[in-house]
Amino acid sequence: MPADINIWALAGTGFAAGLVGSMLGVGGGILIVPILTLLLGVPMQYAVGSSLASIVINACTATGVYIRSHMTNLKLGLLLSCTLIPGAVIGAWLAARLSSPILSGIFGLLLIYVAYTLIPHKLKRFTAEELERQKDPHEEEHASHAWLDGEYFDPAVDQQISYGVHRPGTGLTTGFFAGVISSMLGVGGGIINVPVMNLVMKVPAKAAIATSAMLLAFTTMTGALIYAYNGYIIPYVIAPLMISVFLGSRTGATLSQRLRSNTLMAIFAAFLVLTAVMMILRAFKVI
Amino acid sequence: MENELRDRLNRLDRRVGLFLNAGIILGLVLLLAGLALFVAKSMPQSAPLTPLVQLPAGLAGLDAAAFVTCGLMVILLMPLVVLITSFVHFIMTRERLPLIVCIILLLMLAASYVLLLK
């Protein structure tokens, strides 16, 4: 660990991560890890551990809000956690055995993927007819997992939305890999979970995002506890980070209603590509 | 969805939301206290997390690392509170499949931590 880390630099990092993460719906980890490693000189494993712990508070806050508005599909979240948690354990185990340059390289590649997903083209909006057709009780394939079906009130359309959950097996499989990546690199698995739940499992976007926050809480909790046990979480680093991530995400949630998200996403995607290049160059010891 | 089932799920959502909020506030207060102690007492930046057995003594002695460790643990255990609340709820409502999922998750978490401690 570097001998002297400025507490305000840590607080600023956490606040920026919480703010941007909340405004763009991405985990703060994709900002925390590069800033801690590239700017503050924190070794990769310490940065990942701190990032995971910071995401827990963000995910728990979001889960609390979503659950009270009944958007989280609790049963689906619990089911998918059955593969996410072993994935998170394996991810943390792998991270402890891989060198910092290799982790930096993998992280750089992941950032490029996240930048791609920020291009607005991804989540599908289902019409009321499509949702109803998906829930058809005569559909034999769906009947076996009808207990996962959910509903919530969407104030945007002033309507109660009911939906069926499809292909839980695919969700369980991808959940495992989301757990590995999340725990290994200190990022939220939402970048994988949300598109899979929405596009493959036919869960409406709002419910997918809400359920993903709960999944994120489980994955990052498991990963963070393992990093803490291995000594990769330092109290002096984690305290200002967690507090400022919390404050940043609260501010971001308010600001996001006033700003144009497309412009913000384009700027952030460009920033991510630049950071990715730096992380990959670092992996090859060029910088 | 039947009204009774919907009411049950709403009750569970409210309980889980309440526990999460309370836990986050408690965790944040402990983290803030720890941070204030770090600054006030000019403690070493590299101090590690306090082992769980030494937490009570650390808290009594106003040790910054102990307060941060305690706050961190409270927040990290919040998802577990969600799981346990759901588990109790599904026992009371006798929903078999979600209950089985909760049991699998609890066993899985327990196994992970036992393996970790080895």
Q: Quick: pLDDT tens for A51-63.
A: 889 988 888 888 8
| Bridge partners (DSSP) listed for residue A163 | A150
What number is the average pLDDT over the span B54-64?
Answer: 92
Flag if B13 and A70 touch (Cβ within 8 Å): yes
**Chain B CB contacts of A5 below 8 Å:** 45
The contacts of residue A157 (CB under 8 Å, 6+ apart) are: none
Coil, helix or strand at residue A162 = strand
Residues 78-97 of B with CB under 8 A from A: 78-80, 82-83, 86, 95, 97
- Who has greater pLDDT, A138 or A282? A282
Domain-located, residue A42 = yes
pLDDT category, A121, cuts 50, 70, 90?
low
Flag if B9 and A89 touch (Cβ within 8 Å): no
- State how far the Cα of A41 lies from the Cα of A128, in Å rounded to an integer: 51
**Chain B CB contacts of A246 below 8 Å:** 24, 28
**Chain A CB contacts of B23 below 8 Å:** 60
Is residue B12 less than 8 Å (CB to CB) from chain A?
A: yes
pLDDT for A38? 85
Q: How far is A117 from chain B (nearest CA, A)?
A: 27
Q: Calculate the CA A188 to chain-centre distance.
A: 3
Is residue B74 less than 8 Å (CB to CB) from chain A?
A: no
Q: Considering only alpha carbons, which residue of chain A is nearest residue B30? A: A239
What number is the average pLDDT over the span A233-257?
Answer: 85
**Cα–Cα distances in Å, from B40 out to A223, A233, B37, B87?**
31, 21, 5, 43
Q: Calculate the CA B111 to chain-centre distance.
A: 18
**pLDDT one-digit tens code per residue, A76-117:** 999 999 999 889 888 888 888 888 888 888 888 888 887 887
Flag if B78 and A60 touch (Cβ within 8 Å): yes
Q: Which two tokens stand for residue A188?
A: 């939220």
Is residue B72 less than 8 Å (CB to CB) from chain A?
A: yes
Is the separation of the CB atoms in B67 and B33 below 8 Å?
A: yes
pLDDT for A192? 80
Domain-located, residue A2 = no
Domain count along chain A: 1
Flag if A53 and B75 touch (Cβ within 8 Å): yes
**Chain B CB contacts of A70 below 8 Å:** 9-10, 13
Q: State the residue range of the domain holding A44.
A: 7-283
Domain-located, residue A198 = yes
Q: Considering only alpha carbons, which residue of chain B is nearest residue A72? A: B13
Percent of chain A with pLDDT over 70: 84
The answer on pLDDT for A123 being more than 90 is no
pLDDT for B31? 95
The answer on pLDDT for B70 being more than 60 is yes
Domain-located, residue A196 = yes
**Cα–Cα distances in Å, from A265 out to A114, A119, A207, A268?**
11, 7, 22, 5
Count chain A–chain B contacts defined by CB atoms under 8 A: 157
Nearest to A82 among B1, B13, B101 (CB): B101
Q: What is the mean pLDDT of chain A?
A: 81
Domain-located, residue A224 = yes
What number is the average pLDDT over the span A116-142?
Answer: 62
Flag if A74 and B28 touch (Cβ within 8 Å): no
pLDDT for B29? 96
| Bridge partners (DSSP) listed for residue A162 | A151
Domain-located, residue A55 = yes
Domain-located, residue A141 = yes
What number is the average pLDDT over the span A9-32?
Answer: 81
What number is the average pLDDT over the span B5-24?
Answer: 82
pLDDT for B2? 63
Domain-located, residue A1 = no
pLDDT for A102? 86
Nearest to B113 by CA among A129, A231, A131, A89: A89
- State how far the Cα of A191 lies from the Cα of A198, in Å rounded to an integer: 12
pLDDT for A226? 85
**Cα–Cα distances in Å, from A57 out to A112, A145, A235, B36?**
26, 31, 15, 19
pTM of the entire structure?
0.81
Q: Which two tokens stand for residue A76?
A: 């689906």
Is residue B42 less than 8 Å (CB to CB) from chain A?
A: no
pLDDT for A244? 94
